[in-house]
Amino acid sequence: MSDMGNLRSVLDEGGYSGRRDATPSDLAVAALGVPLKVLRACESGGHQLAGNLLADALAGLSSSPKRLPSKYFYDARGSTLFERICEQPEYYLTRAELAIMRDHVGAIATALGSNVRLVEYGSGSSLKTRMLLQHLESPVAYVPVEISRSTLMESVAKLEHEFPDIEMLPVCADFTHPITLPRAARAPRRTVVYFPGSTLGNFAPSDALRLLRQMRGEAGQGGGMLDGGVLIGVDLVKDKAVLEAAYNDAAGVTAEFTLNLLSRLNRELGADFDLAGFRHRARYSALAGRIETSIVSTRAQDVHIDGCSFHFPPDESMQVEWSCKYTLEGFASMAARAGLRVTEVWTDPARQFSVEWLVCK
Ligand code: AVI
């Protein structure tokens, strides 16, 4: 049973959630037959991001250069668009990571060992999680940490049905803040934090390091016999054309995903962005090793939010997302600074993406 003390209201302080924020769909989810313990686990979550949207939008639009946090991409429409991005032919990340899981899940499960308490940061599509749970030997518990109450409950409802012998301990919280994880009824041998999808790449380097340190802390205090570890999906540096195509798909889904941020500000904050006056831009900076996504004003215009006016000259760009790419060496050295040692690396045949197993040093 989840420790209710762990579940706090997660008014976000700037971290990236990677998944859509809560929508009031509890009743719909309850109809799926979610057990009471899951409902309870989620009671204090939800509606967290809304509180900061106005403050973050005003602060970001007042700064120079203008910026908006990428965590606000994931409203219901943004989450649907992200799922569509994952299906675009140019967006290789999801396919490559799934191929790695398909080809190496046996070896991955062996590396993680038996009787694991599996903690997942973000619990969107549970396809990769499902593969892992199917192959792990006697996993003790699955602890998804997810800011969106509805996403969390839907994913746990499905997994609980499929894995009745694995204790489900959902935590509705912002994983970018330290969390006291719930104890499993059966003692685990180790705790493994699973962080797939290259989501770490959406954090600035200092925040990524802080998050890795936090994961190391959570894996280390697992209450198991062995120190735990982190299983993480990391996108690799590659040809600029391949990278830029992935974030500028021909069907325009990524552009729609990016501009949906402005629709969200219009809808939720009463802003008056004219979407026809802005465009999506994603460029790779080889120096910084990241895709930098911006929203660019195509003309001079003023936008109003909550009584404040913001001027955009033609071509002014507003930074909305970084998607950092790593070399194997660069990632290993960041992991080392977080107290983690890379012990296994699995890649897809084209070496586009990696799934890495890090243990506490
Ligand atoms: C969630 N995250 C890892 C995606 C990425 O590749 O940075 C988000 C995304 N943004 C545009 N396309 C995909």
Give 88-131 pLDDT, tens digit per residue.
Answer: 999 999 999 999 999 999 999 999 999 999 999 987 667 899 99
Ligand 1 shell residues, CB under 6 Å: 18, 85, 93, 197-199, 201-202, 247, 254, 321, 323
Distance of CA 98 to the CA centre of its chain: 16
* DSSP string of 12-25, one letter each residue: -SS----SPPP-S-
The angle at the Cα of 120, spanning 92 to 57, to the nearest 5 degrees, equals 75
Whether the predicted pLDDT of 25 surpasses 80: no
45 — pLDDT class (breaks 50, 70, 90): very low
The 10s digit of each residue's pLDDT in 215-251 is: 999 998 655 566 899 999 999 999 999 999 999 999 9
- Distances in Å between the Cα of 165 and the Cα atoms of 105, 142, 257, 277, 289 are 20, 11, 38, 54, 43
Mean pLDDT of 178-198: 93
Residue nearest to atom 7 of ligand 1 (CA): 323
Specify the range with the lowest mean pLDDT, choosing from 153-157, 183-187, 325-329, 347-351.
Answer: 153-157
Position 194 scores a pLDDT of: 97
Residue nearest to atom 5 of ligand 1 (CA): 323
Residue nearest to atom 3 of ligand 1 (CA): 199
Query: How much distance in Å is there from the Cα of 2 to the middle of ligand 1?
Result: 31
Query: How much distance in Å is there from the Cα of 91 to the middle of ligand 1?
Result: 9
More confident residue, 124 or 273: 273
Position 222 scores a pLDDT of: 54
Position 294 scores a pLDDT of: 98
Query: How much distance in Å is there from the Cα of 312 to the middle of ligand 1?
Result: 26
Distance CA(113)–CA(139), nearest Å, equals 9
1 — pLDDT class (breaks 50, 70, 90): very low
Mean pLDDT of 185-204: 95
The 10s digit of each residue's pLDDT in 220-230 is: 865 556 689 99
H/E element holding 317? strand 317-324
Mean pLDDT of 65-75: 94
Which residues neighbour 27 within 8 Å (Cβ) at sequence distance 6 or greater?
none
Indicate the domain borders of the chain: 2-56+76-238+326-360
Position 122 scores a pLDDT of: 86
Question: Across the chain, what does the average pLDDT equal?
Answer: 86
More confident residue, 276 or 16: 276
Position 84 scores a pLDDT of: 97
Whether the predicted pLDDT of 165 surpasses 90: yes
Position 361 scores a pLDDT of: 87
Position 178 scores a pLDDT of: 86
Specify the range with the lowest mean pLDDT, choosing from 122-126, 192-196, 279-283.
Answer: 122-126
Rounded percentage of the chain residues whose pLDDT exceeds 90: 75
Specify the range with the lowest mean pLDDT, choosing from 18-22, 27-31, 141-145, 338-342.
Answer: 27-31
Position 320 scores a pLDDT of: 98
Nearest-atom number in ligand 1 for the CA of 282 is: 11
Whether the predicted pLDDT of 20 surpasses 60: no
| CATH code, 2-56+76-238+326-360 | 3.40.50.150
Rounded to two decimals, the pTM is 0.87
Rounded percentage of the chain residues whose pLDDT exceeds 70: 84
- Distances in Å between the Cα of 214 and the Cα atoms of 227, 295, 329, 355, 360 are 14, 32, 21, 19, 12
Distance CA(105)–CA(350), nearest Å, equals 18
Of the candidates 188, 177, 12, 169, the residue with the CA atom closest to the CA atom of residue 115 = 188
Kindly state the DSSP code that residue 197 receives in the 8-state scheme.
T
28 — pLDDT class (breaks 50, 70, 90): very low
Nearest-atom number in ligand 1 for the CA of 202 is: 7
